[in-house]
Amino acid sequence: MALLGLLGLALWRGWLELPPRWNPWAPLDINAAPNLLTRFKLARLAASPELCRQALASGGVVYSPQADSNGRCPLHNVVRVQRAGVGFSSSFLASCPLAVSFALFERHGLQTAAQAVFGQPVVSVEHLGSFACRNVYHRQQGRLSQHASANALDISAVRLADGRRISVEQGWNQGEQGRFLRLMQAGACEAFNGVLGPDYNAAHRNHFHLDMGGWGLCR
């Protein structure tokens, strides 16, 4: 344990040099393949807007910074995402870590799945929204949803380079499309803390819910 602590101190102080992708204190690079340190680097972004936006820049994400706000559903360290390797049905508000996680997923999960099944890339993503100041499942009582802090995104469909539209609701049990959607979900589970899809419950029959909450669930 003491040896691990000494190693961590040496890395933090810069006494020991490692390649950036294996240095836990180096900025997260969206282009680099995820590894055992990616989750740690993602976790650091919530407390550091500067570090988070540096990560967004590494992946060429097009976004506009947003001011913090208070109230029942306070927003901190948020951005409005216009493009992240793919186009979107509309721009969306996202916590900065959510935006970085999406960029990682798009680069290393979504496109990998599309190439494996269809031999072509995804060019655009349709979503049902991100920020909504509400409780889980719109209940009158209970805890706030991850959507209430712009910490979640619901994806309903994607469009391929040849124009084909792959819908979560219509394609989930449809052979090639279903295979792609399951690979897509598996890739999302590597980038997000919470991933819920059609097999979770009826409320998610038509979309993947992706969030950066503190609990880990992939269903």
If pLDDT is split at 50, 70 and 90, which confidence band does 14 have?
low
Neighbour-count burial for 140-175, b at 16+ CB within 10 Å, e otherwise:
eeeeebbbbbbbbbbbbbbbbeeeeebbbeebbeee
Residue 58 lies inside a defined structural domain of this protein: yes
- The CATH number of whichever domain residue 49 belongs to comes to 3.30.1380
pLDDT on residue 16? 65
Q: Is residue 172 part of a domain?
A: yes
Q: Is residue 153 part of a domain?
A: yes
Range of the domain at 188: 38-218
Distances (CA, A) of 49 to 27, 73, 135, 161: 12, 19, 26, 34
How far is 109 from 105, CA to CA, in rounded Å?
Answer: 5
Global pTM reads 0.89
Point out which residues pair with 210 in neighbouring strands.
Answer: 153, 195
| Mean pLDDT (the chain, rounded) | 92
Q: How many CB atoms lie within 10 A of CB 46?
A: 17
Whether 9 maps to a domain, the answer reads no
Domain count of the fold of the chain: 1
Q: What is the pLDDT of residue 141?
A: 76
Report yes or no on 26 lying in a domain: no
Residue 178 within any structural domain of the chain: yes
Strand-strand pairing, 87-88 and 122-129 = parallel
Domain assignment present for 8: no
Handedness of CA 107, 109, 114, 119 (dihedral sign): positive
Instruction: Assess if residue 192 is contained within a domain.
Output: yes
Q: What is the mean pLDDT of residues 94-101?
A: 97
The predicted pLDDT at position 21 comes to: 77
**Pick from 114, 118, 197, 126: which is nearest to 167 by CA?**
126
Confidence (pLDDT) at 210: 98
Angle between helical axes of 38-45 and 96-105 (0-180°, round to 10): 150
Give residue 217's pLDDT.
87
